[in-house]
Structure 1
Amino acid sequence: MREEYDIKNLNPRKNPYSNRLKKQITINIDSDAVDYFKSLSEDSGIPYQTLINLYLADCAKNKKRLQIAWK
């Protein structure tokens, strides 16, 4: 075993996930919406917060706009 290692030469690749860092926020979501994602979570085995993040990321990627018609 060496006494010193040159870390830069050991793994010269850049972290592929460094641009996908998550940011913790506080958000108010209706309990019905949370329950919906929790039920999806039980079916898929994916944590519900991850499912919510995946859905929102898909909306942002596809530039989906909410269609609201106030009556």
Structure 2
Amino acid sequence: MRDEYDFSASVENPYTKKLKKQITIRLEEGVVDYFKDLAEDVGIPYQSLINLYLQDCVRAQRKLSLEWTSKEHAVNREP
């Protein structure tokens, strides 16, 4: 293996920016803790685990059913 490589003539991959998009998302502490604990069990970084879960929701076309109650918020997922 060489000590140094010359990348001056290299071209940036035009598809890398389309692979993932960095965003800011606010999640409840309990949600993050849940995925962090699960990530330790399966050996996958928690952010990747959240992404995999969301990808599964997209593939399955899951929809949420939101029902607001009097002082409490209830979130139920349709089967």
Superposed displacement of residue 69, structure 1:
1.1
What is the percentage of aligned positions where both structures have the same residue? 57
Counterpart-to-counterpart distance in 2, 1:47 and 1:32? 17
Question: Structure 2 unaligned runs (5+)?
Answer: 1-14, 70-79
Confirm or deny that 1:21 pairs with 2:27.
no
Superposed displacement of residue 61, structure 1:
1.1
Counterpart-to-counterpart distance in 1, 2:41 and 2:65? 29
Supply the RMSD in Å over aligned alpha carbons: 1.6
Give, as a single letter, the amino acid of the residue that structure 2 aligns with 1:53: N
Give, as a single letter, the amino acid of the residue that structure 1 aligns with 2:40: E
For 1:59, the equivalent position in structure 2 comes to: 57
TM-score under structure 1 length normalisation: 0.69
Question: Structure 1 unaligned runs (5+)?
Answer: 1-16
Superposed displacement of residue 45, structure 1:
0.5
Aligned length: 54
SS in structure 2 opposite 1:68? strand
Give, as a single letter, the amino acid of the residue that structure 2 aligns with 1:32: G
Counterpart-to-counterpart distance in 1, 2:68 and 2:58? 23
Q: Which protein is richer in helix relative to its size?
A: 1
For 1:47, the equivalent position in structure 2 comes to: 45
Counterpart-to-counterpart distance in 2, 1:61 and 1:33? 22
Query: Which portions of structure 1, spanning 4 or more consecutive aligned residues, are displaced by more than 6 angstroms?
Result: none
